[in-house]
């Protein structure tokens, strides 16, 4: 419940003020608020790729890699993608399926201004591993809003799954959704346009979860999640829920990773 974390941030802010002058205020607040101030180590377990410049503020590609921990008994359970300077910094939290072998996730985010981007992985022993990048905002007519909200609404909930075979099988789940932020004033009515976004997404193969995502408004319009995984031969099942209570679900037969069967 990200919203709850936001609400308590004010209380924790005082406790952490001045603690990390070198880091941005936004990040130290987030560490305190979302991660209870727990220690994090910078490690090779997570790597993050973002463009140096947000060419299109509404659609900034992010690639997250997860390397297996040295201790074979451990695994990455959860990763949190944070865009420090966005109005809602927690872009997404991904829970990785225990047996799915997810080693990479690509998604797309909105970037409001010059910002650090952090990726935090939580291992099964509770330790936190972090990496960061910096993204320059684009200027001029590039804005972090969808290009054609009417078209996005017309196809609300339409899903597409693409599968990519190879040494590391991949799939990409796409959902038509405006993912409205709720932060934009409609200057005609003087009301805020209600937030309307995908907040929960589950991708499984048969009964085995591949990943579960809790998303926020920093994910781009028409959310896309592409992932490397180990197919088990079962169909891929997706269920997504948005903030208006809509549930979208669909199944696809698996088409990748069949070698040897």
Partner 1 sequence: MPATDRTFAAAAAFWLFAWPAAALDPKEVAPGVYVIAGAVALASPENEGAIANIGFVVGRKAVAAIDPGGSATVGASLVEAVRSITDQPIRYVIYTHMHPDHVLGAAPVVAASGAEVVGHAKLASALAARAEHYLAGARDALGDEATDGLEVVLPDREVAAIATLDLGDRPLSLRAWPTAHTDNDLTVLDERTGTLFAGDLLFTEHLPVIDGSITGWLALEAELTSLPAARAVPGHGPATVDWPAAAAAQFGYLASLADSVRAQIAKGAGLAEAVEAVPPPAGNWALVETFHRRNVTAAFTELEWE
78, 120 contact by CB (below 8 A): no
Q: Encoding tokens for residue 172?
A: 């990409």
Give the dihedral sign, CA 136/142/144/146.
negative
157 near partner 1, rule: CB under 8 A = no
Nearer CB in complex with partner 1: 26/174: 174
Number of residues that bind partner 1 (CB under 8 A): 42
Q: Encoding tokens for residue 15?
A: 């406790």
Among 26, 74, 123, 145, indicate the residue that binds partner 1 (CB under 8 A): 145
* Sequence-ordered strand ranges (E) for the chain: 40-42, 46-49, 60-66, 76-83, 90-96, 104-109, 115-123, 128-135, 159-164, 170-175, 185-186, 191-192, 198-205, 208-215, 224-228, 236-242, 247-252
> Judged by CB under 8 A, which stretch of 19-27, 169-177, 204-212, 239-247 contacts partner 1?
169-177
Shortest separation between residue 1's beta carbon and partner 1, angstroms: 27
Nearer CB in complex with partner 1: 17/185: 185
Site string for partner 1, 29-68 (x = CB under 8 A): --------------------x-x---xxx-x-x-x-----
140 near partner 1, rule: CB under 8 A = yes
Long-range contacts of 145-153 (CB under 8 A, 24+ apart): 145/58, 145/181, 145/184, 145/221, 146/58, 146/178, 146/179, 146/180, 146/221, 146/222, 147/58, 147/221, 149/178, 149/180, 149/221, 152/176, 152/177, 152/178, 152/221, 152/222, 153/178
126 near partner 1, rule: CB under 8 A = no
Site string for partner 1, 4-33 (x = CB under 8 A): ------------------------------
228 near partner 1, rule: CB under 8 A = no
Among 18, 73, 126, 139, indicate the residue that binds partner 1 (CB under 8 A): 139
153 near partner 1, rule: CB under 8 A = no
For partner 1, the binding residues (CB under 8 A) are 49, 51, 55-57, 59, 61, 63, 106, 108, 112-113, 138-145, 147-151, 160, 162, 164, 170, 172, 174, 176, 184-188, 193, 220, 222, 224, 226
């Amino acid at each position: 419940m990200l919203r709850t974390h936001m609400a308590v941030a004010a209380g924790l802010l005082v406790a952490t003020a001045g603690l990390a002058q070198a880091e941005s205020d936004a990040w130290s607040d987030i560490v305190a608020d979302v991660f209870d101030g727990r220690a994090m180590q910078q490690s090779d377990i997570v790597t993050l790729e973002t463009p140096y410049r947000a060419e299109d503020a509404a659609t900034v590609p992010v690639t997250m890699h997860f390397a297996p921990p040295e201790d074979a008994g451990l695994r990455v359970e959860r990763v949190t993608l944070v865009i420090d300077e966005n109005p809602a910094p927690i872009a997404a939290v991904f829970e990785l399926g225990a047996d799915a072998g997810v080693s990479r996730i690509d998604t797309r985010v909105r970037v409001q201004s010059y910002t650090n981007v952090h990726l935090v992985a939580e291992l099964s022993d509770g330790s936190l591993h972090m990496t960061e990048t910096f993204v320059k905002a684009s200027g001029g007519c590039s804005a972090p809003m969808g290009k054609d909200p009417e078209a996005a609404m017309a196809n609300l909930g339409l899903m597409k799954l693409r599968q990519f075979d190879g040494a590391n099988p991949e799939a990409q789940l796409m959902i038509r959704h405006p993912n409205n932020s709720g932060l934009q004033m409609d200057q005609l009515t003087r009301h805020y346009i209600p937030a309307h976004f995908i907040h929960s997404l589950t991708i499984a193969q048969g009964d085995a979860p591949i990943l579960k995502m809790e998303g926020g408004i920093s994910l781009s319009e028409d959310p896309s999640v592409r992932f490397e995984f180990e197919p088990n031969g079962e169909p891929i099942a997706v269920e997504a829920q948005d903030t208006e209570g809509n549930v979208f679900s669909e199944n696809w037969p698996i088409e990748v990773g069949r070698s040897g069967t």
